[in-house]
Amino acid sequence: MGGNTRNHIKKALRWLHSIGTWQYLLVLIVMLFISATCLRIDHIRMNDLKNEVLSADQAGDEEKLITSLNSLRDYTNSHIVINIDDMNGNFEVYFGTGPFYLENQYRSDATKVLEEAEKNNPDGLGSNVFAEAANVCRPQAIAGGWAWNSPEYLNCMTSEIDKHPASDDFQSSVILPSTELYRYNFASPVWAPTITGFVLLVTALLALIIIIRFIVWAVLKIALRVMKN
C-alpha cells in the first residue's frame, strides 16, 4: 500500500515537472507587461478627458464643460483607472481621477456674488464697504499681479469686507459659494468587464496557478521524504 502511494506521488511530481514552472513564469512576465500597458492606456485616456474638462473650465464654455464632465465620469466609472501619488515620500494608490477643482467657474461665480452685492445693497452701504475693500486690495493686486477675478483678490475683498461690523446686511449678501461645490473626484471600480479587466483576470489566475504549483510541489516533496523515513 505504501509503495503504491509512493509511486502515485512520484507520478504527480513528474507531471508537474513535465510542464515546467519556468514556462508559466515566462507567460506571466508577458501578461504582466500587457496588463501594465492596458492600465497605462486607460490612465492616459482618463487624463485626456480630465484635461478637456479643465480646458472647458478655463474657456468658460459651460455647455462643453457639462459634456466633458459627463464623459469623464462615465469613462472613469466603467474602466480601471489607477493613480499613484507621491505625498512627501509616501506613495498613495487610489482608483479614479483624484480630486480636482473647476477654479475658473468658482472665480466667475464668486465675482458675480460680489458684483450683485455691491449693486443691490440698500443705503449705499454695500458700495461704501466694497469701495473701501477695493482701495485696500487693488494696490495689492497690482503689486502681486493678481487678476480681478483671481482667488487672491477675492480672498482679500471678502477679508476686508468682514472687518466692517456695521455691514451685517451686506456681509450676508456676499457669502461666497463653497469650494466643495466645484470639487470633483470620480471613482473607478477595482475591476471592470473591459479588455484591461480580462487581461488582469488572466494574469491573476496565472499567478495563482504558479503559487498552487509551488505549494503542491512542496507538499509532495515533504510527503515523499516522510515516507522514506
Residues 173 and 202 in one domain: no
Which of 183, 200, 182 lies closest to 191, judged by CA? Answer: 200
What is the value of pTM for the model shown?
0.70
CB-side neighbour CA atoms (13 Å) of 126: 16
Residues 166 and 189 in one domain: no
In order of 164, 174, 191, the CA distances from 177 in angstroms are: 20, 9, 36
Residues 189 and 178 in one domain: no
Residues 90 and 189 in one domain: yes
Domain that holds residue 172: 111-183
> Does residue 105 sit within a domain?
no
Which is more confident, 224 or 83? 83
> Does residue 47 sit within a domain?
yes
Number of domains in the chain: 2
User: Is the model's pLDDT at 94 over the cut of 60?
Assistant: yes
Q: Which residue has the cell 446686511?
A: 169
User: Is the model's pLDDT at 143 over the cut of 80?
Assistant: yes
What per-residue confidence (pLDDT) applies to 40? 96
Residues 38 and 62 in one domain: yes
What per-residue confidence (pLDDT) applies to 193? 95
Q: What is the mean pLDDT of residues 79-90?
A: 81
Residues 89 and 172 in one domain: no
> Does residue 126 sit within a domain?
yes
> Does residue 106 sit within a domain?
no
Residues 178 and 220 in one domain: no
> Does residue 104 sit within a domain?
no
Q: What is the mean pLDDT of residues 208-226?
A: 82
- Rounded to whole angstroms, the Cα distance separating 70 from 93 reads 24
Residues 204 and 179 in one domain: no
Which is more confident, 162 or 135? 135
Contact 200, 95 (CB under 8 A): no
- Model confidence at 110, pLDDT cuts 50, 70, 90, reads confident
Handedness of CA 127, 128, 129, 131 (dihedral sign): positive
